[in-house]
Chain A
């Protein structure tokens, strides 16, 4: 296991470097001058003032020089300042990260709670009516786009209650109950598609495992069905399931960007969208960097968990 962990950790850094590099250059491709964008078409600044600002912000340097400057800053956790608010990017990210983490966690939690039992029931009642009902629901949920459901939900909430959800900034640590109240609806909508996919995934994992030869061997040894399931079937079904939910968590980060935009929740996602609209360069780079780090970190966790569960991964290439 130690070999695997070290190998996997060593892989983490080159991948991180490549993604960070990609991120930097992709953002440079975005058209428009960030300073002009910041002040609008009728800029109160003279050409000299703009030039001075460019020098001050380091925008006059060559692209490679800016890349290495940025890398150096990132390594020192310096992410620059916003052209708009003047506050540091780090401050903004630190304030907004808990909201997005809360949203994604709540959503993943919801999909787990819904899809694992439903998948097990569907597999257990294979080809009987509970299986048919659940399979119909999953297909339905997979086919409905979540941004559409979100808009519908807002319309329904507005007609029924007169308001949808609170859009103010709520600190999840100081006020967890209000934060969950705020985040539950978008988290639930985000969880619908993975709920559908997850139900089918768990169902097929169970059905496949129960037909494996080693399950027959376990039965032939005289183990009772309960132990066959708990000791032989479940651990083997867990590997694909863990991988699936890990990847769904990463996808949920992307979905959170859309949901925060639609519901107006002040998280990292809406920060990214706002920064991209207004060419707020450093905020954009910094907030996407955080999302990237989340994704890479989750990938690392999935890989380590799978290695923990499956010796074939653990002892690979040894």
Chain B
């Protein structure tokens, strides 16, 4: 299938005065095919959100994209001028964020915030864009659309706010949607609704999705390809089935052992990963997972293992596979 997005060797660092640099994203590469759902999985602080934001150059102003390529339909997004990236954002690639309350402008009505996208990309006038916004809210199954259009974000429930975010992201029919932990701030019952809303809409439209999450249950249900991230690196990348049935990297293995599985009869014993993720400003030359790993040897301490194709379309970065 046709590849629409190629990310190569992406590095986003936080340079700080008088303190060591935080290497939040340190050499991430992956590809997104048309219509595919890719999951970026990892613990909090592993750089998955920063790497997703860096694709559209939305990384926080305190950070810098040091090097790398983000090829979108042949153009390097990291090199195009600012006006050009504004045309890609929201139109070709749309984003959904973690916390829908803080991600919506508190002083603007829902209607104005959604119609803004149409005004920007389709040059629609006020009334047309307002009608389009109404259509989008209907599409994401928001009840009582008329009154929601003139409501402010604080007047809606968490689930409704995230539906508004989804409506905003879908409004220009983008080719790729980046969903950055779209359900983290929601309660469990709404999580399922929002996820199936996002994934069904994207599947129907043949739209590719990058799903950033730490929830392995969500990944198993929706993802085609899974990238496991640890301390700014992708440590394993494979099809969804391969990740769950034949994990190669010790981190993936440990991660799967630490979550309950409903596909195993009688359940499984939950084994937590000992220790904490390393601090991203104190990384040595070796494998970042070394301190918590069961397979570690002196080689792991000295040298970072490169990511290599172990079997077909199954990549892992470990010296001991």
Q: What residues of chain A have their CB less than 8 Å away from a CB belonging to chain B?
A: 210-214, 216-225, 227, 231-232, 235-236, 309-312, 315
Report B244 CB to chain A, min CB distance, Å. 31
Tell me, in angstroms, the Cα distance from A137 to B219 when the chains sit together. Answer: 54
Within 8 A of A (CB), among B86-114: 86-91, 94-95, 97, 99, 102-108
- Residue interface bits B96-140, CB-to-A below 8 A is 1, else 0: 010100111111100000001100110000000000000000000
Report A180 CB to chain B, min CB distance, Å. 37
Contacts A211-B60, A225-B82, A311-B152: A220 and B106 contacting too (C-beta < 8 A)?
A: no
Asked if A224 and B83 make an inter-chain contact with CB atoms under 8 angstroms apart, the answer reads: yes
Report B231 CB to chain A, min CB distance, Å. 24
Listed A/B pairs (28) with beta-carbon separation below 8 Å: A212-B102, A213-B103, A214-B103, A214-B104, A216-B103, A217-B103, A217-B104, A217-B105, A217-B165, A219-B89, A220-B89, A221-B89, A221-B168, A222-B87, A222-B88, A222-B90, A222-B120, A222-B121, A223-B86, A231-B108, A232-B105, A236-B105, A236-B106, A310-B106, A310-B107, A311-B154, A312-B152, A312-B154
In the complex formed, the residue of B with least CB distance to A127 is B17
Closest 7 CB pairs of A and B: A222-B90, A222-B89, A213-B102, A221-B90, A220-B95, A213-B103, A214-B105
B88 contacts across to A, CB distance below 8 A: 222
B107 contacts across to A, CB distance below 8 A: 235-236, 309-311
A218 contacts across to B, CB distance below 8 A: 105, 116
B56 is an interface residue with CB less than 8 A from chain A: yes
Instruction: Report which of B86, B103, B104, B165 forms a contact with A222, defined as CB distance below 8 A.
Output: B86
Contacts A214-B104, A221-B168, A223-B116: A315 and B56 contacting too (C-beta < 8 A)?
A: no
> 12 new A-B pairs (CB below 8 Å) besides A217-B97, A315-B152?
A211-B61, A213-B99, A214-B104, A214-B105, A214-B106, A220-B94, A220-B97, A221-B116, A221-B168, A223-B116, A225-B82, A309-B107
Report A264 CB to chain B, min CB distance, Å. 46
Query: Contact residue range for chain B?
Result: 20 to 34
Tell me, in angstroms, the Cα distance from A227 to B89 when the chains sit together. Answer: 14
In the complex formed, the residue of A with least CB distance to B56 is A220
Tell me, in angstroms, the Cα distance from A224 to B82 when the chains sit together. Answer: 8
Tell me, in angstroms, the Cα distance from A225 to B85 when the chains sit together. Answer: 11
Chain A contact residues: over half helix, strand or loop, or mixed? helix
Asked if B97 and A216 make an inter-chain contact with CB atoms under 8 angstroms apart, the answer reads: yes
Q: How many residue pairs between the two chains, A and B, have CB atoms under 8 Å in the bound complex? A: 80
B90 contacts across to A, CB distance below 8 A: 220-223
B89 contacts across to A, CB distance below 8 A: 219-222
Tell me, in angstroms, the Cα distance from A219 to B168 when the chains sit together. Answer: 13
Tell me, in angstroms, the Cα distance from A222 to B61 when the chains sit together. Answer: 17
Report B31 CB to chain A, min CB distance, Å. 22
Tell me, in angstroms, the Cα distance from A309 to B107 when the chains sit together. Answer: 8
Tell me, in angstroms, the Cα distance from A315 to B156 when the chains sit together. Answer: 13
In the complex formed, the residue of A with least CB distance to B172 is A222
In the complex formed, the residue of A with least CB distance to B152 is A311
B147 is an interface residue with CB less than 8 A from chain A: no
Instruction: Report which of B58, B61, B83, B105 forms a contact with A220, defined as CB distance below 8 A.
Output: B58
B155 is an interface residue with CB less than 8 A from chain A: yes
Instruction: Report which of A211, A212, A222, A309 forms a contact with B91, defined as CB distance below 8 A.
Output: A222
B116 contacts across to A, CB distance below 8 A: 218, 221, 223, 231
Asked if A224 and B86 make an inter-chain contact with CB atoms under 8 angstroms apart, the answer reads: yes
- Residue interface bits B21-34, CB-to-A below 8 A is 1, else 0: 00000000000000
| Residue among A210, A212, A219, A236 with max Cβ neighbours from chain B (10 Å) | A219
A315 contacts across to B, CB distance below 8 A: 152, 155
A214 contacts across to B, CB distance below 8 A: 102-106
Tell me, in angstroms, the Cα distance from A306 to B108 when the chains sit together. Answer: 15
Within 8 A of A (CB), among B150-187: 152, 154-155, 165, 168
A225 contacts across to B, CB distance below 8 A: 82
A310 contacts across to B, CB distance below 8 A: 106-107
B152 contacts across to A, CB distance below 8 A: 311-312, 315
Tell me, in angstroms, the Cα distance from A211 to B105 when the chains sit together. Answer: 13
Report A62 CB to chain B, min CB distance, Å. 53
- Residue interface bits B240-271, CB-to-A below 8 A is 1, else 0: 00000000000000000000000000000000
Tell me, in angstroms, the Cα distance from A311 to B152 when the chains sit together. Answer: 7
| Residue among B87, B91, B120 with max Cβ neighbours from chain A (10 Å) | B120
Report A167 CB to chain B, min CB distance, Å. 47
Asked if A213 and B58 make an inter-chain contact with CB atoms under 8 angstroms apart, the answer reads: no
| Residue among A211, A218, A221, A227 with max Cβ neighbours from chain B (10 Å) | A221
Report B142 CB to chain A, min CB distance, Å. 18
- Residue interface bits B274-303, CB-to-A below 8 A is 1, else 0: 000000000000000000000000000000
A223 contacts across to B, CB distance below 8 A: 86, 90, 116, 120
Tell me, in angstroms, the Cα distance from A220 to B91 when the chains sit together. Answer: 9
In the complex formed, the residue of B with least CB distance to A314 is B152
Tell me, in angstroms, the Cα distance from A125 to B106 when the chains sit together. Answer: 26
Tell me, in angstroms, the Cα distance from A310 to B153 when the chains sit together. Answer: 12
Tell me, in angstroms, the Cα distance from A218 to B56 when the chains sit together. Answer: 13
Tell me, in angstroms, the Cα distance from A227 to B95 when the chains sit together. Answer: 19
Tell me, in angstroms, the Cα distance from A235 to B61 when the chains sit together. Answer: 21
In the complex formed, the residue of A with least CB distance to B155 is A315
In the complex formed, the residue of A with least CB distance to B17 is A127
In the complex formed, the residue of A with least CB distance to B62 is A211
Tell me, in angstroms, the Cα distance from A206 to B165 when the chains sit together. Answer: 25
Contacts A222-B86, A315-B155: A213 and B106 contacting too (C-beta < 8 A)?
A: no
